Structure 1
Amino acid sequence: MRDTLERPMTEPEEGPARFTKRRLVRWIAVLTIGIVVVLAIWQEPLYALRPE
């Protein structure tokens, strides 16, 4: 009889997940917002709002 506890070998050990679904969604949201901001500035540049 063994006195040690062993982890069941149901799945092979994997390293830490690099691209989880949550992280991927966050990056897509950040990139989308960034692109929209850049396009908005190109459409209506801030210097065009200054009276001359």
Structure 2
Amino acid sequence: MPDVLSKPDTEPGEDPARFPRRRVVRWLAILTVGTLVMLACLQEPLYP
């Protein structure tokens, strides 16, 4: 008897999404902010 409560997430001929767009955007934002923070922390202060 088939299970009626569960349905396949993708069509049979469709590959599963490995990197959803929201996850990629989130990781790019985290890496960008992290890089900017590290550059700001490592920057030498400008003394006159």
Q: TM-score, normalised by structure 1?
A: 0.53
Q: Give the structure with the larger helix fraction.
A: 1
Unaligned runs of 5+ in 1: 46-52
Q: TM-score, normalised by structure 2?
A: 0.57
* Superposition misfits of 4+ residues, deviation over 2 angstroms: 13-18
Unaligned runs of 5+ in 2: none
RMSD: 2.7
- Larger RCO: Structure 1 or Structure 2 (Cα < 8 Å, ≥ 6 residues apart)? 2
Query: Kindly, what percent of the aligned residue pairs are identical?
Result: 59
Aligned residues: 37
Query: 2:18 corresponds to which residue?
Result: 18
**2-side partners of 1:34 and 1:12: how far apart?**
39
